[in-house]
Amino acid sequence: MKTPLKPPFDSAGKLSSAGSRPAFPVQLNSGKGNSFATKTVAAAARATSNNGGNGQNDLKKPFQPGASDGFGLDSAVRARMVRRLAEQGVLDARVLAAMGAVQRHHFVDTALANMAYEDTSLPIGFGQTISKPSVVARMLELLQQGLTDASGRLGRVLEIGTGCGYQAAVLSHLATEVYSMERLRGLHDKARENLRPLRLANVHLLFGDGMHGFAKGAPYAAIIAAAGGEAIPPAWTEQLAVGGRLVAPLQDASGAQALAVIDRTPQGIRQTLLEAVHFVPLKSGIG
């Protein structure tokens, strides 16, 4: 059962929410349901053929914010990114649609906007980076695969490491509620600014140390971390619902990171280590 959550506290300046959000419905992609992928792939194909078959010119052109929302150039280039994700093995249609719906170029500096749909991580300031699209999609697909709810939609999700807010925006299309926590005030503020125009009523930004999770929102159907430490903080597994899944980078003794999938089953915790990844470090405290 979902219990309504009060806005997170900020009396001690330790943890605060993005403030009350208007009760607008979540703004979804401009296409409807499954037709979105089909439409955007078709648009991408058109863009490709206009450029002698490789579509590279589209990626080099700077975006003009506001000039092309929906089915313009940015939509075509994003569709191209989605098609590449599918080619790389991301099969989950919901994840692909969510990746296609969020304008990644709005989350990075204007100077980097022309690289926003390349499969590359990009700096977001404060020494942090936005993960590359294939890693975001991979982690979200792992969450979807762990889903035990027949609705196909993730329930409440906790994200550790809001960064610029991009992944939180993608998650808003997959989950009923997204609680996203960031330890750096500057990035928390930046994410709030980036997300404000999207009016995603189900995204709640929290400022605080994610090592402690966010008990008020627990239990979570899923927890996803964008920063890796040497161990999974106990609070995370405690706040994971039975039947829930956690995906996070985990560092071994040599400092190498691998993607860890942790399932909380009625029988206990089950951990699987997957491929090598490179995430920024999980740090304690706030800054």
User: Which candidate in 75, 131, 172, 180 is catalytic?
Assistant: 131
Q: Is 131 a catalytic residue?
A: yes
How far is Cα 142 from Cα 54, in angstroms, rounded to an integer?
Answer: 31
212 contacts 283 by C-beta, under 8 angstroms:
no
Q: Please identify, using beta-carbon distances, which residue of 103 and 131 lies nearer to ligand SAH.
A: 131
How far is Cα 140 from Cα 105, in angstroms, rounded to an integer?
Answer: 19
Q: Is position 227 an interface residue for ligand SAH (rule: CB under 6 A)? A: yes
DSSP 8-state class, residue 210: G
Question: Residue with structure tokens 């329930």?
Answer: 155
227 contacts 283 by C-beta, under 8 angstroms:
yes
Q: Is position 161 an interface residue for ligand SAH (rule: CB under 6 A)? A: yes
Contacts of 2 (CB under 8 A, 6+ apart): 155, 156, 176, 177
Q: Please identify, using beta-carbon distances, which residue of 29 and 128 lies nearer to ligand SAH.
A: 128
**Site string (121-160) toward ligand SAH, x via CB under 6 A:** ---x---xxxx----------------------------x
DSSP 8-state class, residue 95: H
Q: Please identify, using beta-carbon distances, which residue of 39 and 156 lies nearer to ligand SAH.
A: 156
Question: Residue with structure tokens 């150039």?
Answer: 73
Minimum distance from residue 67 beta carbon to ligand SAH (Å): 24
Q: Residue 71 corresponds to which amino acid?
A: F
Q: Please identify, using beta-carbon distances, which residue of 222 and 282 lies nearer to ligand SAH.
A: 282
- 257-286 positions binding ligand SAH, by CB under 6 A: 280, 282-283
Q: Is position 223 an interface residue for ligand SAH (rule: CB under 6 A)? A: no
How far is Cα 74 from Cα 98, in angstroms, rounded to an integer?
Answer: 15
**Site string (169-198) toward ligand SAH, x via CB under 6 A:** ------------xxxx--x-----------
Number of residues that bind ligand SAH (CB under 6 A): 24
How far is Cα 178 from Cα 204, in angstroms, rounded to an integer?
Answer: 6
Choose the binding region for ligand SAH from 28-36, 50-58, 65-73, 205-213 (rule: CB under 6 A): 205-213
Position among 167, 172, 194, 257 found at the interface with ligand SAH (CB under 6 A):
167
C-alpha distances in Å from residue 139, one per residue of 4, 112, 135, 181, 186:
27, 24, 6, 17, 25
Q: Please identify, using beta-carbon distances, which residue of 80 and 188 lies nearer to ligand SAH.
A: 188
Closest to 257 measured CA to CA, from 285, 282, 223? 282
Minimum distance from residue 38 beta carbon to ligand SAH (Å): 27
Closest to 172 measured CA to CA, from 152, 187, 191, 156? 156
Position among 15, 44, 147, 226 found at the interface with ligand SAH (CB under 6 A):
226
Q: Would you please indicate which residues are annotated as catalytic (active-site) residues? A: 131
Site for ligand SAH, rule CB under 6 A = 124, 128-131, 160-161, 163-164, 166-167, 181-184, 187, 209-211, 226-227, 280, 282-283
